[in-house]
Chain A
Amino acid sequence: MPFLLVAPSLLLVGAFFLFPLLLSVQGAFMGADGPTLAHFRTAFGLYRNDMLVTLLITGCATALIGAGSIAIGGYLTLGGSRRARAVLAWLYRWPLFIPFIVAGQSMRGFLGQNGLMNSALVGAGMPEMWAQSFLDWRGIVITFVWKQLPFATLLIAGAMAAMDRAQIEAAQNLGAGRLRVLLGVVLPQVSRNITVALILSFVTMMGVLSVPLMISGQSPSMLTIPMAWRINSLGDYATANALGVLACLMTGMVAWVWLRQAAAEKAK
Chain B
Amino acid sequence: MMRRRTLFAALPALAAPLATHPAAAQQRVTLNVMTAGDQNMVDYITDYLGPMFERQNPGVSVRAVGTGAGDSGSQRIWERLEAQRRAGATAVDVDVAVVHQSMAGRMVAEKLLSRYRADISTGALTTAAVASNALGQDVDGYVMPMFNSQVAIAYNPDRVTEVPQTFAALEAWAKAHPKRFGYNGIRGGMAGVGFVFGWTYAFGPDQRLLLEGPFNAEAVRALTPALQRLKAFNANAVITPGNAGTLDALNRGEIDMGPVWMDMFYTWQAEGRLNPSMRLVLPESGLPGQPMYYVIPDKAAHAAAARKFIELATSPQVQADGIVKRFNWLPGIDAQHVRQNLDQATWNRLFRDIGPEQLAQGARPMPQAEFFKAIQEAYERVVLN
Q: Using a CB–CB distance below 8 Å, which chain A residues touch chain B?
A: 45-46, 48-49, 108, 112-115, 133, 135, 213-221, 225-226, 229, 231-235
In the assembled complex, B249 has its CB within 8 A of some CB on chain A: yes
In the assembled complex, B119 has its CB within 8 A of some CB on chain A: no
Question: Apart from A213-B188, A220-B384, A234-B377, what 20 extra A-B contacts exist at CB < 8 Å?
Answer: A46-B377, A46-B380, A49-B384, A49-B385, A112-B254, A113-B252, A133-B238, A213-B241, A214-B241, A215-B241, A216-B241, A217-B184, A217-B187, A219-B187, A225-B187, A232-B70, A233-B72, A233-B186, A235-B71, A235-B75
Closest CB in chain B relative to A122 CB, distance in Å: 13
Given contacts A112-B252, A113-B254, A217-B245, contact A226 B381 (CB under 8 A): no
Q: How far is the CA of A49 from the CA of B381 in the complex (A)?
A: 11
Please determine whether B71 and A219 come into contact, CB atoms closer than 8 angstroms. no
Contacts of A231 in B (CB 8 A): 72
Given contacts A46-B381, A114-B254, A232-B70, contact A217 B239 (CB under 8 A): yes
Q: How far is the CA of A217 from the CA of B182 in the complex (A)?
A: 11
A sample of 16 inter-chain contacts (CB < 8 A) reads A46-B377, A46-B380, A48-B385, A49-B385, A112-B249, A112-B254, A113-B252, A114-B252, A213-B188, A214-B241, A217-B188, A217-B192, A225-B187, A232-B71, A232-B72, A233-B187
Interface string of B47-77 (1 = CB under 8 A from A): 0000000000000000000000011100100
Contacts of A217 in B (CB 8 A): 184-185, 187-188, 192, 239-242, 245
Q: Using a CB–CB distance below 8 Å, which chain B residues touch chain A?
A: 70-72, 75, 184-188, 192-193, 238-242, 245, 248-249, 252-254, 373, 376-377, 380-381, 384-385
Please determine whether B384 and A233 come into contact, CB atoms closer than 8 angstroms. no
Given contacts A114-B253, A114-B254, A135-B241, contact A234 B185 (CB under 8 A): no
Nearest chain-B residue to A234 (Cβ)? B373
Nearest chain-A residue to B71 (Cβ)? A233
Closest CB in chain B relative to A142 CB, distance in Å: 15
Contacts of B193 in A (CB 8 A): 233
Contacts of B240 in A (CB 8 A): 217
Contacts of B72 in A (CB 8 A): 231-233, 235
Please determine whether B249 and A108 come into contact, CB atoms closer than 8 angstroms. no
Q: How far is the CA of A217 from the CA of B244 in the complex (A)?
A: 12
Contacts of B186 in A (CB 8 A): 229, 233
Most B C-beta atoms less than 10 A away, residue of A218, A229, A234: A218
Please determine whether A229 and B254 come into contact, CB atoms closer than 8 angstroms. no
Please determine whether A226 and B254 come into contact, CB atoms closer than 8 angstroms. no
Please determine whether A219 and B249 come into contact, CB atoms closer than 8 angstroms. no
Contacts of B249 in A (CB 8 A): 112
Closest CB in chain B relative to A39 CB, distance in Å: 13
Most A C-beta atoms less than 10 A away, residue of B238, B241, B384: B241
Q: How far is the CA of A214 from the CA of B242 in the complex (A)?
A: 8
Given contacts A226-B187, A234-B373, A234-B376, contact A45 B245 (CB under 8 A): no
Closest CB in chain A relative to B11 CB, distance in Å: 31
Nearest chain-B residue to A231 (Cβ)? B72
Closest CB in chain A relative to B313 CB, distance in Å: 27
Contacts of A112 in B (CB 8 A): 249, 252, 254
Contacts of A215 in B (CB 8 A): 241
9 nearest A-B pairs in the assembled complex, by CB-CB distance? A217-B188, A217-B241, A232-B72, A113-B254, A218-B239, A229-B187, A217-B239, A114-B252, A219-B384
Q: How far is the CA of A46 from the CA of B381 in the complex (A)?
A: 6
Please determine whether A108 and B71 come into contact, CB atoms closer than 8 angstroms. no
Q: How far is the CA of A112 from the CA of B249 in the complex (A)?
A: 8
Nearest chain-B residue to A226 (Cβ)? B187
